[in-house]
Structure 1
Amino acid sequence: MTNYAVELAKIALDIKAIKLSLEHPFKWASGFFMPIYNDNRLLLQDAGHRKLVARGFEELLRAHAISYDAIAGTATAGISPATTLADHLGIQLMYVRDKPKDHGLRNLIEGIDSEGNLKGKKVVVVEDLISTGGSSLKPVQAVRNVLGTVDHLLSIFNYGLQEAEQLFLNAGVTVHSILTYDVLLDIAKERNYISSDQIEMLKQWRTAPFDWGEQRGFKRGGQMTFAEKWNEAVERKNSILCAGLDPAEYGQRGDGTLPLSVPKLVWCLDFVEKIASYSAAVKPNRNYIKDFSRAETQALVARIHELGMLAIDDSKLVDIGETNDSGLYHSQQEGFDAVTYAAFPGNTQEAVNQAHPRGLGLISLVLMSNPQFEVIKNSTIRGMKGYEYYALQVAEYGADGMVIGAPSDKNHIKDEEVRKVREIAPDALVLMPGVGAQGGDAQYILSVFGDKVIANVGRAIMYAHDPAREAMKYRDMLNGLRGS
């Protein structure tokens, strides 16, 4: 009987589809240096290799008694192995795009009618590689959104990272991989690719993969943009949720405050722990933590990062010159990834040029939902409406994002205004503060801006009886809308 894991490990090492190097680690797209690199596309060059993968998948289906009606490949690397498997089994095939087409019928799933569904069908998703797991869960959610049942996912190779295992567990998906990291190391040692000492170091890598390189003197290469950091966090967490953090002290207002007896920093640290599995970022509102020392703010931001999330300093900077730069300096020292900025002084270019060298993204207020902003948005600046001018400043000077309020029957924001902003600044991220308690139309904003959206939810999660459950609810709701 063929041991598909062993055979695949031998082939992958021989054709260098999997490379191992402790002395000269590989720079991943994220900028992290890692001792392993996997490119399963190299298996495409040989028909025998493709057939071996299909038979390996078939054996996993049989061994685990998995019933199925269709195979769904992930774009793009999962399409070829999914096709070979579906042909081998003689069943329906489809593939899931990473985002809907921007033309035609805007299909997300190719292989089914755009108005059809998969109700009653058991679909097995096929992926080439499992790392952090976030991108692999997007096609699962897409199939579930059209009423298909997905309980199992197949992959050619799996790093076996704990973070991914937890994500799949939370999503109710069982992963079955032909080749696992442990088997790979055994075969690599057996065939003298690596020594026993190197085996132990490679095992240590898996316990803390994103710290491994820097601990050995391989600093993360290049300065990532805030958009790159955000996209990485979204994939890692399978979430576009940003948890707003506005910790009002007891007695500060009528309701929605911290308990009387709990220190604010303790409460904040507990909160970020609870929502970490479901959120890609946390946005502390500076006006609510002005009493924090630098050390306390650094402790909060460090914990946010340790839990795999980004930290956005919601300062709404609104000044000029050295005063703005002073605010950015402190945000940098505290470890934040981005800062919110109010463009009222008209100095977006200056602010961008101050923020980026400090490794900070700049998110500009462009279209606010508060009633008073209606006058500002309709004012004329250089022949443009106010909000159009602010959006143009974002596009022209390379700000990383913009704050766009979500339209609802409770505010003044109009469809044509939101679409105009999209037209002016198509590449900017969009921080949407109107989800949750503010009643914003998340589905609408996602339909306009797609994968550019940072969906902030504040008090609806913060002051819920169970913040973790509430964060999970919002994450799942947003993921459902992303795939719709």
Structure 2
Amino acid sequence: MARLLLEAGAVQVSHDRPFVLAAGWASPVYVDCRRLLGMPHLRAGAIALALDYLRQRFGAAPPFDAVAGGETAGIPWASWIADRLGLPLLYVRKRPLGIGRHAQVEGGAPEGSRVLLVDDLATDAASKVAFAQGLRTAGMRLSDALVLFHNRAFPGWDARLEHLGLSLHALASWDDVLRPEAGETLLSPADRDVIERFLRDPAGWSADHGGRRAPMTPPR
């Protein structure tokens, strides 16, 4: 997965102006998984890896009744995975739209269905809190989420997931991106140096460059 992200140009490194991520953290590197969407061969490779992972982790018939895509970048990946598994598709918003139990979830699955949440990436897992609450309010059972990339750099994600009772499965993380076999010819020495220096103290790097210093609220 790391190799596919690098081939797609999804790992973007800035040597001057930091990226400010959706979660409010400042970072010299941004992983844009959406780059894969426009490249059919890389997209197909990512879907194949996701399906292989699910089968290795859960068995030949993964124990889910439906697949839910997180708004918005998780929806296409959830659609392809649901199609390949022959399962119903849902999508879940970050916030309710209107009122009622299903105000945050679109698509059809019976109440009590075991759902796999799919998103493109995880940073500090704040959006996963919103998605989990929406799906559970709609009567779905949720214990597992799958992402293409997990940015484990910033604090708060592990406590959030533990509190949610949610297992997060990632096809790649920074350890994979920095392995020589993944990016030997695709990641320049200068870019690698920027990423490695950032990963020594991500929260400190963010604070020094105008981003958040710590999670804004205690994990819920």
CA distance in 1, matches of 2:183, 2:9: 15
**Which residue does 1:45 correspond to in 2?**
38
How many residues are paired up? 213
Q: 1:80 aligns with which of 76, 80, 84?
A: 76
Cα distance change of structure 1 residues 163 and 45 upon mapping to structure 2, 3 Å threshold: same
Contact 1:152 1:176 in 2 (8 A): yes
Cα distance change of structure 1 residues 74 and 95 upon mapping to structure 2, 3 Å threshold: same
Contact 1:12 1:18 in 2 (8 A): yes
Q: 3-state DSSP class of the match of 2:142?
A: coil
Matching residue's letter, 2:148: I
Contact 2:115 2:141 in 1 (8 A): yes
**Which residue does 2:160 correspond to in 1?**
167
Contact 2:102 2:138 in 1 (8 A): no
CA deviation after TM superposition for structure 1 residue 61, in Å? 1.1
Matching residue's letter, 1:27: F
Q: Aligned pair 1:92/2:88, yes or no?
A: yes
Q: 3-state DSSP class of the match of 1:179?
A: coil
Q: Aligned pair 1:156/2:145, yes or no?
A: no
CA distance in 2, matches of 1:87, 1:105: 26
- Identical aligned residues as a percent: 25
Q: 3-state DSSP class of the match of 2:179?
A: helix
Q: 2:187 aligns with which of 193, 202, 213?
A: 193
**Which residue does 2:171 correspond to in 1?**
178
Q: Compute the TM-score of the two structures, normalised by the length of structure 2.
A: 0.82
- Considering Cα pairs closer than 8 Å and 6+ residues apart, tell me whether 1 or 2 has the greater RCO: 2
Contact 2:8 2:42 in 1 (8 A): no
Q: 2:116 aligns with which of 104, 124, 130?
A: 124
**Which residue does 1:17 correspond to in 2?**
10
Matching residue's letter, 1:220: G
CA distance in 1, matches of 2:10, 2:43: 13
1:464-483 pair list within 5 angstroms: none
Cα distance change of structure 1 residues 171 and 104 upon mapping to structure 2, 3 Å threshold: closer
Q: Structure 1 regions of 5+ residues with no counterpart?
A: 225-231, 238-275, 279-484
Cα distance change of structure 1 residues 213 and 108 upon mapping to structure 2, 3 Å threshold: closer
CA distance in 1, matches of 2:88, 2:13: 37
CA deviation after TM superposition for structure 1 residue 18, in Å? 1.6
**Which residue does 1:375 correspond to in 2?**
none
CA deviation after TM superposition for structure 1 residue 175, in Å? 0.9
CA distance in 2, matches of 1:208, 1:158: 17
Matching residue's letter, 1:93: L
CA distance in 2, matches of 1:213, 1:193: 22
Offset from partner CA, 1:94-150 (integer Å, 9 cap, x none):
00012222499973100038xxx521x211000101001010222122222233211
Q: For the pair shown, which has the larger CA radius of gyration, 1 or 2?
A: 1
CA distance in 2, matches of 1:212, 1:123: 36
Offset from partner CA, 1:147-176 (integer Å, 9 cap, x none):
321111000111123521221122111111
Contact 1:70 1:123 in 2 (8 A): yes
Q: 1:68 aligns with which of 41, 60, 64?
A: 64
Q: 3-state DSSP class of the match of 1:150?
A: strand
Q: 1:27 aligns with which of 15, 19, 39?
A: 19
Matching residue's letter, 1:51: A
Contact 2:96 2:134 in 1 (8 A): no
CA deviation after TM superposition for structure 1 residue 209, in Å? 1.9
Offset from partner CA, 1:74-112 (integer Å, 9 cap, x none):
010100000011111111100001222249997310003
Q: Aligned pair 1:133/2:125, yes or no?
A: yes
Q: 1:146 aligns with which of 138, 147, 151?
A: 138
Cα distance change of structure 1 residues 148 and 202 upon mapping to structure 2, 3 Å threshold: same
The alignment's C-alpha RMSD in Å is 3.0
Offset from partner CA, 1:412-463 (integer Å, 9 cap, x none):
xxxxxxxxxxxxxxxxxxxxxxxxxxxxxxxxxxxxxxxxxxxxxxxxxxxx
CA distance in 1, matches of 2:126, 2:101: 26
CA deviation after TM superposition for structure 1 residue 60, in Å? 1.6
Contact 1:81 1:128 in 2 (8 A): yes
CA deviation after TM superposition for structure 1 residue 63, in Å? 1.3
**Which residue does 1:273 correspond to in 2?**
none
Q: 2:47 aligns with which of 45, 48, 54?
A: 54
CA distance in 2, matches of 1:39, 1:199: 17
Q: 3-state DSSP class of the match of 1:156?
A: strand
Q: 3-state DSSP class of the match of 1:61?
A: helix
